[in-house]
Amino acid sequence: MRKFLMIAGGAALLAAAPAMAGFKLMPAGQPQLIRKSALTVTPGIAWNRLGARLGRNAEAWTLDGNTLNDLIFYTAIPAGQTLFREVDKKNKPLPKFDAKMLAPDVVAMFESSYRIANSTSLFSVDSVEPATFAGKPGFRFTYSFTIQNEEVRRSGEATGAIVNGQLYMITFEAPKIHYYDRNIADYRAVVASAKVG
Amino acid sequence: MLKRLALGVAAAALVTSPAAAGPKDFTAQGYALPADKPVTIVLMRPDMEVGELQAGGMVEPNADWTKAAREHLAKAMESAHKSRNIELKPIDESQEGNAQLVADYEALHRAVAEAIVTYKYYGAKLPTKKDQFDWTLGPGAQKLGEASGANYALFFYGRDNFASASRKAVQVAGMLGCLIGMCIITSGGQHVYYASLVELSTGNVVWFNVLRGSKGDVREAEGAQGMVDAIMASMPSRPGEGGKATTVAAKAR
C-alpha cells in the first residue's frame, strides 16, 4: 500500500481507474441480493456498497471506509474458483475452493489467500467453531492480521457454510482499536439475516 | 486486494492532481473548542518522508532530506504553537506502555486519515456520510490524554517528492513535443501534507486539513515554517474557537 502510494503518474491512474467506482447506499431494513446470487441479507443499519468488484463472486460494504470497516460477502463460490481476484497468478496463485472442503480447510484457504493478497506474514486464526449460516450447518472463525507496511492491527470474524457445493461466507474486519468492537454486532445482525436460495 | 489498490490510486491522485493545489479543511459540524479550559496539545511525531521523483514516476526516498525535514518541521510546529499560546504536552515514551500506545494510535490515525482523504477529498463519496464529517479514533484516545496531560492531539503527515534531473528532462521533452503536436505533460514534484486535530476525550477528529502544492522547501527551516503556517492557518486554537475557512493558496511547483 505504502509502496503503491508512492507510485504516481497517469499510467497508474489509468490502469486502475475502473477500481474507483462509486458507492451505493444499502439502507437499513431492506433486503439486498448479493451479486445477483442466491444470497440475500437485510442490514440493520445503513451501509455503503463498494461499486468496484473484488472478484466474480465477492462484494464489499463499509461504514467509514475500507481501512476502517470492511464487510465482505463471498457468494456462491464454485469448486475451482479463488475467493477473490488473483493478485499475482504466475508467481503466487491463490488457493482454489473445493466442494469437499471441511471447515478447517476453508479457514486454511482463507488464511493462505490473505497472506498472499496482503503480502503479510502477520496473520493468525484465533478461533474456529461450528455455526449456523442461513439455516445450514456451517462454521465461524476469528482472525487477526496486519497488512505489510501498515502498522494498524486488525481483527476479523467470518461466518459461512457450503451449500449445494458452493461456498457462502460473510466476513467483517476492522482495526482492533475502537472500530471492531463498535460494529461487530452490526455484522452479526447481517449474518443472522442471511438467506440462501 | 483490489480495494487496497483503489485506495492507493485515490492517494496517488491526490498527490498528482495539479488542479486542486492549496489547502482544504473540514471541521466537525458545529464544533468549537471548549471555552472554559485552555487548549493543550500533544504533538504526535510528524510522519514525514522526502524523496526524489524519478523520470518513470517512482519515488526514491532520501534519508538525509527526510531527517532534515523532520527536524525543521518539529521546530516549526513548536514555534507555530508558541505563537498561538498553545501549551504543548509531550508524552514520555520511556514510561511503560507509552511507546506502544503512541504507535497504536499513530497507526489507527493513518487508517482514519486515509479514509478521510479518500472519501472527502478524492470524490468517491460514502452515501452514509453525505454532508457529514464524523471520523473518530474512538474514546480510547483518552489514554493519550492521560499519558500527556493534553486535551487534544495534533497529527501531521507529509510526502514531499522533488523532481529529479531526469524527471525534469522528461517534462521538458514532453512540453517540446507540443510544438509538433505530440504532447505528454509530466507533472513535476509532488507535495502533499495533511494535519488533523483530535479531541482526546472523545477521539473525534475535530479539524482536518490537506495542503497540496508547496509553500517552500521543507528541507530548510524557512520552507518548513511556511508549510506548517499554511496548513495550520485554519486550525481552531483558542478556547471557544470553531473552524474557519482558509484562503491561503499554495504555490504550484
Q: Is the Cβ–Cβ distance between B229 and B218 less than 8 Å?
A: no
pLDDT for the residue numbered A10: 29
A53 close contact with B: CB closer than 8 A: yes
Q: A9 vs B8: CB contact, 8 Å cut-off?
A: no
Residue B213 has pLDDT above 90, yes or no: no
- Identify all chain B residues contacting A153, using CB atoms and an 8 Å cutoff: 104, 107
CATH of domain A22-196: 3.40.1000.10
pLDDT for B65: 92
CA distance A169 to A194: 10
The larger pLDDT score, comparing residue B161 to residue A69, is at A69
Residue A52 reports pLDDT greater than 80: no
At position B192, the amino acid (one-letter code) is: V
Q: How many CB atoms lie within 10 A of CB B92?
A: 9
Residue A6 pLDDT exceeds 60: no
Considering chain A, what is the average pLDDT of its residues? 88
Which residue of B16, B115, B124 is in closest CB contact with A67? B115
Residue B91: closest CA among B104, B101, B82, B83: B101
Q: Supply the Cα-derived Rg of chain B in whole angstroms.
A: 19
- HEC per residue, chain A: CHHHHHCCCHHHHHHHHHHHCCEEEECCCCCEECCCCCEEECCCCCEEEECCCCECCEEEEECCCCCCCEEEEEEEECCCCCCCCCCECCCECCCCCCCCCCHHHHHHHHHHHHHHHCCCCCEEEEEEEEEEECCEEEEEEEEEECCCCCCCCEEEEEEEEEECCEEEEEEEEEECCCHHHHHHHHHHHHHHCCEEC
How high is the pLDDT of residue A11? 29
CA angle, corner B63, sides to B101 and B229, nearest 5?
70
d(CA B133, CA B126): 11
The mean pLDDT value for A114-135 works out to 92
Q: What's the CATH number for B21-28+40-232?
A: 3.30.160
pLDDT band at A42 (very low <50, low <70, confident <90, very high): very high
Residue type, B169: A
What are the phi and psi torsion angles at B52 (to 5°)? -115, 130
Instruction: Reply yes or no on whether the pLDDT at B57 is more than 90.
Output: no
Contact of A7 with B159, CB cutoff 8 Å: no
| Helices B63-83, B221-232: crossing angle, 10 deg rounding | 50
**Using CB atoms and an 8 Å cut-off, which of residues 66-125 of chain A contact chain B?**
66-68, 70, 84-85, 87, 117-118
**Furthest CA-CA distance within chain B:** 66
Kindly list the residues from chain A whose CB atom is less than 8 angstroms away from the CB atom of residue B8: 1, 4-5, 7, 16
> ipTM of the predicted structure?
0.86
Residue B130 has which C-alpha cell? 453525505
pLDDT at A62: 96
Query: How many residue pairs from chains A and B have C-beta atoms closer than 8 A?
Result: 156
Q: Residue B208's pLDDT is what?
A: 93
Q: Categorize the per-residue pLDDT at B168 as very low, low, confident or very high, splitting at 50, 70 and 90.
A: low
If you average pLDDT over every residue of chain B, what do you get?
Answer: 80
* pLDDT tens per residue across span B16-30: 444 445 667 888 777
* Chain A positions in Cβ-Cβ contact with residue B163 (cut-off 8 Å): none
Give residue limits of the domains in chain B.
21-28+40-232
Range A49-69 average pLDDT: 89
Closest chain A CA to residue B8: A5
Most confident of A106-115, B42-51, B211-220: A106-115
Confidence category of residue B101, pLDDT binned at 50, 70, 90: very high
Using CA atoms, how far apart are residues A1 and A150, in angstroms rounded to an integer?
8
Q: Is the pLDDT of residue B31 over 90?
A: no
Tens digits of residue pLDDT in B176-194 = 665 665 655 555 667 888 8
Q: How far is CA A81 from CA A33, A87, A95, A143, B202, in A?
A: 21, 14, 8, 22, 44
pLDDT (0 to 100) of residue A118: 83
- Pairing mode of beta strands A136-145, A47-50: unpaired
Which residue in the set A23, A54, A67 is minimally distant from B7, CB to CB? A67
Higher per-residue pLDDT: A128 or A22 = A128
Residue B82 CB burial class (10 angstroms; 0-12, 13-18, ≥19): exposed
Residue of A54, A65, A87 with shortest CB distance to B119: A65
Average pLDDT over residues A136-149: 94
CA-based nearest distance A97→chain B, Å: 18
* Distance in angstroms between the alpha carbons of the first and the last residue of chain B: 34
pLDDT value, residue B21: 55
Ranked by mean pLDDT, the top range of A156-165, B65-74, B161-170, B187-196 is A156-165
pLDDT tens for A94-115 read: 999 999 999 999 999 999 999 9
CA distance A146 to chain B (A): 11
- Nearest CA of chain B to the CA of A139: how many Å? 24
| Residue B36: Cβ-neighbour burial (10 angstroms; 0-12, 13-18, 19+) | exposed
Contacts of A159 (CB under 8 A, 6+ apart): A131, A133, A138, A139, A140, A169, A170, A171, A191
Residue B166 pLDDT level (bands cut at 50, 70, 90)? low
Residue B93: CB atoms within 10 A of its CB come to 14
The confidence score (pLDDT) of residue A99 equals: 95
pLDDT at site B185: 53
Q: How far apart are CA A15 and CA B44, in angstroms?
A: 36
Give percent of chain B above pLDDT 70: 76
pLDDT of residue A20 exceeding 90, the answer is no
Q: B167: which DSSP letter?
A: H
Where are the domains positioned within chain A? 22-196
pLDDT of residue B244: 58
- The residues, ordered by sequence, that sit 6+ positions from A92 with a Cβ below 8 Å of its Cβ are A116
Distance from CA of B222 to the nearest CA of A (A): 26
Q: What average pLDDT does range B229-243 have in this prediction?
A: 85
pLDDT tens digits along B125-161: 899 998 889 999 999 999 999 999 999 999 999 888 8
Say how many C-beta atoms besides its own lie within 10 A of residue A45's C-beta.
Answer: 15
Please tell me the distance in Å from B106's CA to the nearest CA on chain A: 8
| pLDDT at site B45 | 87
In the structure grid, which three cell numbers stand for residue A170, read together?
460473510
Q: What is the pLDDT of residue A17?
A: 37
Q: Quick one: pLDDT at residue B211?
A: 87
Of B111, B129, B135, which is closest to A152 when you measure between CB atoms?
A: B111
Q: How many CA atoms lie within 13 A of B177 on its CB side?
A: 11
Q: Which of A9, A23, A151 sits opposite B57 (nearest CB)?
A: A9
